[in-house]
Structure 1
Amino acid sequence: MSPEALRLAAELGGAVLSVPGAAGASGGGSLVLVERIQGHGLSQVLVLGRTAEDLREPLDAATTVQARGLAVNVLGLVPAPGCDLASALDLHRRRLGALVCALDAGLPWLDGKPMLVRRLPGRLARALPVALEKAPMGPLEKAELKGFLADWDKADRKRIFRRPEWREAPDHGQHGGFEADLWPGVPLPEGAELRVPPLVLPEGTALTNALRTALRAATGQPIPFLPLPGDPAPLHALRALTPEATAFRGPARAWELAFEGLSRLPAPPHFCARC
């Protein structure tokens, strides 16, 4: 059993779910599950965090709205170091049950400002760097990003969102090579390996409308959809549980409003390990 998983479980008041074989002999293949269950068979929202801190506000918000009588269950998840998230979610799919949606709370807002995610870069690897094509971006998105990041200079925006720089791969000493972010719409260079696919998230759905409304009401600010540097692999894993998955962060009040909105969305057919 992973000591870090046990520490997280004690800190969050959750349970450790083991993932046999996901992290070899180290025993680090564990998920920490924190349940805020209002009643069996109710609509369920899953919130994934990278750290315990990512779950503080959603769990507090779940407790608050449930105390007011809101009929919704909230499941918080934190992977322990070394966890193969996709394998873990597949193994514990029935334990987690049917979800209205899954939210990744571990992706940060750009410069701490409220936003929703439109596109996430994947990751590619190659023995030697080559020039990457510039990521496509329409004039409206360019203007919105420039206004949102008004204190960024053009070179920084281009380096992050249009033509990322190559970096030495973490396993360089074993296999050699370099890696870079790959934005949607950029062709994979010849001889490169796609390690994590880029991801385009849907906009204008009932889910994103509920989340955008919650952020607007809680912050009093317009909420743009923007590209966000980050690892899309956790969202790929969440979308295997439910296609209604996206990234969301916010203050506790935004989470409260989000849970209220999500509780009104149609729930999938119920199933869980208790049935």
Structure 2
Amino acid sequence: MMNPAALQLAAELGGTLLSGAAGGLGGGLLLVERNQGHGLPQVAVLGRGAADLLAPLEAAERLQAAGLQLNLMALVPLPGCDLASTLELHRRRLGALVAALDAGLPWLGGKPMLVRRMPGRIHRATPVPLAKAPMGPLEKTELKAFLADWEKDRRKMVFRRPEWREAPDHAEHGGFETELWPGVPLPDGAELRVTPLELPCATPLTDALRVALRAATGTPVPILPLPGDPAPLHALRRLTPEIAAFRGPARAWELALTNLARLPGPPHFCARC
């Protein structure tokens, strides 16, 4: 039987529980659909938890009531879900997407931003020095201004040379792990456990999202590196190459979804076709 907590969550959000790739009991996916019509532009929004989906669902309902022709599919991985495999299994049901957004990543300092790159994760039996993560002068200046209350050493430790720590499975397998930013060579003898992620910044998708955040918040919106787990964004690439991390109030989501509905989408396909 499915976990009762997952069934309750599906009832609260009006969603459907999809099986995981192995069809097991623990690792499913909650799909919450706000469909306006078959064949319309579709956007998928991934939340790490149900709370991440409240703003985009609210925005979609309000926009659709006002006549916006757009379908929204909100996704929450349940505990034990192999997200990449599950998305591959249900890809035809989800259909063709204009874009897929990860709404579960927090803004740095609680301020609006977009994500330029995210670190992967590596494991090694013993720590070794890592090369400094590359960062251009403009990016360094923007990050320093954005995190004005961070000391230089803290910024360096998070964004340039993260510290090694004992791996969570240290007692069983031993070893240490740390973040690996894009552009940093993998040390000899290290195992790459999560691939670093670099996102394109000058695309119609990022322009649409940046305009929406700026209009909703009235503040500049830099595109910065973000510490966090990029695995869900990698998984979303199984649905569409047009991926981004996006977070904001309902008004920002309204503007973002309106902008995305105007972007050209891929040829339509879905399980109904």
Q: Specify the TM-score bucket, using the shorter chain as the normaliser.
A: over 0.9
d(CA) in 1 for partners of 2:36, 2:21: 30
d(CA) in 2 for partners of 1:100, 1:249: 18
Does the 8 Å contact 1:4/1:81 carry over to 2?
no
d(CA) in 2 for partners of 1:115, 1:3: 36
Counterpart of 1:83, as a letter, is C
d(CA) in 1 for partners of 2:201, 2:109: 22
d(CA) in 1 for partners of 2:258, 2:75: 20
d(CA) in 2 for partners of 1:181, 1:40: 42
Post-superposition shift, 1:8? 2.1
Does the 8 Å contact 2:21/2:85 carry over to 1?
no
Post-superposition shift, 1:20? 4.5
How do residues 51-200 of structure 1 correspond to structure 2 at under 5 angstroms? 51-200=49-198
Give the 3-state SS of the residue equivalent to 2:96 in structure 1. coil
Counterpart of 2:77, as a letter, is P
Does the 8 Å contact 1:5/1:28 carry over to 2?
no
d(CA) in 2 for partners of 1:270, 1:240: 16
Post-superposition shift, 1:227? 0.2
Post-superposition shift, 1:12? 1.3
Give the 3-state SS of the residue equivalent to 2:63 in structure 1. helix
TM-score, with structure 2 as normaliser: 0.98
Give the 3-state SS of the residue equivalent to 1:64 in structure 2. helix
Post-superposition shift, 1:71? 0.2
Moved over 2 A (4+): 2-5
How do residues 7-86 of structure 1 correspond to structure 2 at under 5 angstroms? 7-21=8-22, 27-86=25-84
Give the 3-state SS of the residue equivalent to 1:241 in structure 2. coil
d(CA) in 2 for partners of 1:86, 1:186: 25
Tell me, which stretches of 5 or more residues in structure 2 are unaligned? none
Counterpart of 1:2, as a letter, is N
Counterpart of 2:51, as a letter, is E
Tell me, which stretches of 5 or more residues in structure 1 are unaligned? none
Post-superposition shift, 1:229? 0.2
How do residues 223-238 of structure 1 correspond to structure 2 at under 5 angstroms? 223-238=221-236
In the alignment, is residue 266 of structure 1 matched against residue 264 of structure 2? yes
Deviation track 1:130-187 (CA, whole Å, cap 9, x = no partner) reads 1111101111110000000000000100010000011111111221111100000110
d(CA) in 2 for partners of 1:124, 1:240: 23
Does the 8 Å contact 1:48/1:102 carry over to 2?
yes
Deviation track 1:77-111 (CA, whole Å, cap 9, x = no partner) reads 00001100001000000110000000000010001
Number of aligned pairs? Answer: 272
d(CA) in 2 for partners of 1:192, 1:31: 32
Post-superposition shift, 1:231? 0.5
> Taking every aligned residue pair, what percent have the same amino acid on both sides?
74
TM-score, with structure 1 as normaliser: 0.97
Does the 8 Å contact 1:4/1:80 carry over to 2?
no
